[in-house]
Amino acid sequence: LTVLGLESSCDDTGAAVVRLSGDTGGSILSNVVYGQAELHRDFGGVVPEIAARAHTSKLDLAVRAALTEAGTSLAGIDAIAVTAGPGLIGGVMAGVMCAKGLAAATGLPLIGVNHLAGHALTPRLTDGLTYPYLMLLVSGGHCQFLIARGPDSFARLGGTIDDAPGEAFDKAARLLGLPQPGGPAVERAALDGDPKSFRLPRPLLDRSGCDMSFSGLKTALLRARNTLIADQGGLFRQDVADLCAAFQSSVCDVLAEKTRRALAEYMVLNPTQPALAVAGGVAANNAIRAVLETVSSDAGAQFCAPPLALCTDNAAMIAYAGGELFRSGHIDDMTLTPRPRWPLDRSSPAMLGSGK
């Protein structure tokens, strides 16, 4: 089964060709990503209008590049998968329209994919993980624990009640004069810092369950920064490094403790072959990966973290998730509607996170 996938829900225009094999896993024949970082840099964040226009002008080029790189053409494709939400609606619409056009012209089946399912199924694509597994989805707009039982079957154990960690990393970088996206910049700066130089809070650790909070951490960082500026008239390079290290260590501690609880809860329900997988852009952070790996091995669970390039937004994960949905009998038609919000676990209240 060879699937062409399209992704355009935020600031990356992606097209990819993925071949699914067996029950789980697949090979990525091409994975083209056109980033838009430089278009948004001067604005300090993604501007939805600019993003949508850039997707519109780049999607067909991305599709052509993905087909060429895969050494195939539309004639070699079995289905077209596209991110149908959640995300910035203009970008999602651009992708869905492009996919509908391709499906109408070729007669190929069209499959609308939840962007978060794309992230959540990535460990199956890369490592051939089998269902069920516990998933920590930690990205720019989301943070939640999910039990993945099938391509369209997820149960939510808990998540952030306010900001997502990626958003907090981005805001931290902005406060400290570091470039966007903030996660990689903060991680780099933290390498030269002392995490113990500032004591930042570990929100919600005193509360039971798997819910998390990151907005107070950001406020605490702002306060520490302002105190330094008031005292010394500005921030030294070492201050920035120390603040980044303290911030990152706080995020690590919160994620580690909540993951420990989520794994314990998961293992009561699924005692055999426990596995923890991480996905989403923040899973690219090496310090976070390291603590999660320790938590997994302490619990006797397999740990699976996809390669960095497949943790951030890409179309290979959409092609793969679309392939799994198609194989399980799911297919959309021209009524497929782009959705700005689309909870993975429909029985739960709408997912909290940024308004992105």
Q: Which of 281, 322, 323, 338 binds ligand ATP (CB under 6 A)?
A: 281
What length does the chain have?
Answer: 356
Q: Is 170 annotated as a binding residue?
A: yes
- Residue 17 backbone dihedrals phi, psi, to 5 degrees: -120, 125
Q: Are strands 110-114 and 133-138 parallel, antiparallel or unpaired?
A: unpaired
Q: Among all chains, which residue has been given the structure tokens 């092609």?
A: 319
Q: Give, for 15, the enclosing helix (H) or strand (E).
A: strand 12-20
Binding flag, residue 181, ligand ATP (CB under 6 A): yes
Q: How far is the CB of 168 from ligand ATP (least distance, A)?
A: 8
Helix axes 182-190, 237-269, angle to 10 degrees: 110
Q: How far is the CB of 53 from ligand ATP (least distance, A)?
A: 18
* Site pattern 193..232 for ligand ATP (x: CB under 6 A): ----------------------------------------
Both tokens assigned to 308: 């960095």
| C-alpha dihedral (117, 122, 124, 126), degrees to nearest 10 | 170
- Alpha-carbon separation of residue 286 from 2, 102, 175, 239 (angstroms): 32, 39, 22, 21
Return the CA Rg of the chain.
20
Binding flag, residue 162, ligand ATP (CB under 6 A): no
Residue 75: DSSP 8-state: G
Q: Is 55 annotated as a binding residue?
A: no
Binding flag, residue 343, ligand ATP (CB under 6 A): no
Residues 86-145 that bind Fe ion (CB under 5 A): 139
Q: Is 95 annotated as a binding residue?
A: no
Binding flag, residue 170, ligand ATP (CB under 6 A): yes
- In angstroms, rounded to a whole number, what is the distance separating the alpha carbons of residues 99 and 78? 13
Q: Specify the stretch interacting with ligand ATP by CB under 6 A; choose among 31-39, 102-110, 133-141, 253-261.
A: 133-141
Give one word for 329, left, alpha or beta, with left for phi > 0 and alpha for psi -120 to 50.
left
Binding flag, residue 170, Fe ion (CB under 5 A): no
Binding flag, residue 85, ligand ATP (CB under 6 A): no
- Residue 347 backbone dihedrals phi, psi, to 5 degrees: -80, -10
Q: Is 187 annotated as a binding residue?
A: yes
Q: Which of 26, 91, 182, 274 binds ligand ATP (CB under 6 A)?
A: 182
Q: Is 281 annotated as a binding residue?
A: no
Check whether the bond before 123 is cis (ω within 30° of 0). no
Q: Which of 8, 56, 83, 139 binds ligand ATP (CB under 6 A)?
A: 139
Q: Specify the stretch interacting with ligand ATP by CB under 6 A; choose among 77-85, 166-174, 215-223, 227-235.
A: 166-174
Q: How far is the CB of 111 from ligand ATP (least distance, A)?
A: 19
Which residue type does 46 have? V
Q: Which of 170, 211, 313, 324 binds Fe ion (CB under 5 A)?
A: 313
Nearer to ligand ATP, 162 or 170 (CB): 170
> With contact defined as beta carbons under 8 Å apart, do 152 and 122 qualify?
no
Contact partners, residue 257, CB within 8 Å, separation at least 6: 202, 205
Among candidate residues 66, 81, 59, the one with its CA nearest the CA of residue 17: 66
Q: Which one of ligand ATP, Fe ion, none is in contact with 87 (Cβ closer than 5 to 8 A by kind)?
A: ligand ATP
Binding flag, residue 95, ligand ATP (CB under 6 A): no
Which residues carry a binding-site annotation for Fe cation? 115, 119, 313
Which residues make up the interface to ligand ATP (CB under 6 A)? 10, 87, 115, 139-142, 166-167, 169-170, 181-184, 187, 280-282, 284-285, 312-313
Which residues make up the interface to Fe ion (CB under 5 A)? 139, 313
